[in-house]
Amino acid sequence: MKKTLLICALLFMQSAIAKGVYQTPLAFLGQTFSNDIPKQSTIWVDKELKHVISNILQHNPSFIRVKYWQRGTTTAWILDEIGKEKPITVGVVITGNKIQQLKVLSFRESRGWEVKHDFFTRQFNNASLTDDLKLSETVDGISGATLSVRALKKIARIALYLQQKANNESTTK
């Protein structure tokens, strides 16, 4: 009986410790841009963009605009996606249409928190978007974190797609 209570207590503590803010968006942007954060830019979600993002997410997006920060060819995106029931906030840094860094900033689920670790997020480094809007790199899953893994893959794809849109907007200005 004592052993069972101890195991239950450890599982509860692990779940409680896993939730939280690992890095604030401001700290993420400061780290990305060496504490010289550029002015925020916005992409408005029009019909075409909504259609593509909906296909990636497999549901309608909950946002009508996306904010991003850009200096030169480097952009930073902070996006949310639902894991199982609650949003996971992720920062994505893209340089030259390839992911330079993907980082879990906040995790609110009780399971799947392993996706926050560098051993997992490093798999996204150098990933780009294929013509059919898939990631160019294979991302191995984590047993017990399937929905969190899927959420991060979706965020990576959306950030890369939005990067293409941001590039197109800057060349037409």
- Could you report the per-residue pLDDT of 12-32, keeping only the tens digit for each? 444 444 568 899 999 999 999
- Could you report the per-residue pLDDT of 104-134, keeping only the tens digit for each? 999 998 888 899 999 999 999 999 999 999 9
SS3 for 46-62, per residue? Answer: CHHHHHHHHHHHCCCCC
- Could you report the per-residue pLDDT of 31-42, keeping only the tens digit for each? 999 999 999 999
C-alpha torsion angle, residues 95, 45, 49, 101 (rounded to 10): 20
Structure tokens of 44? 């408005």
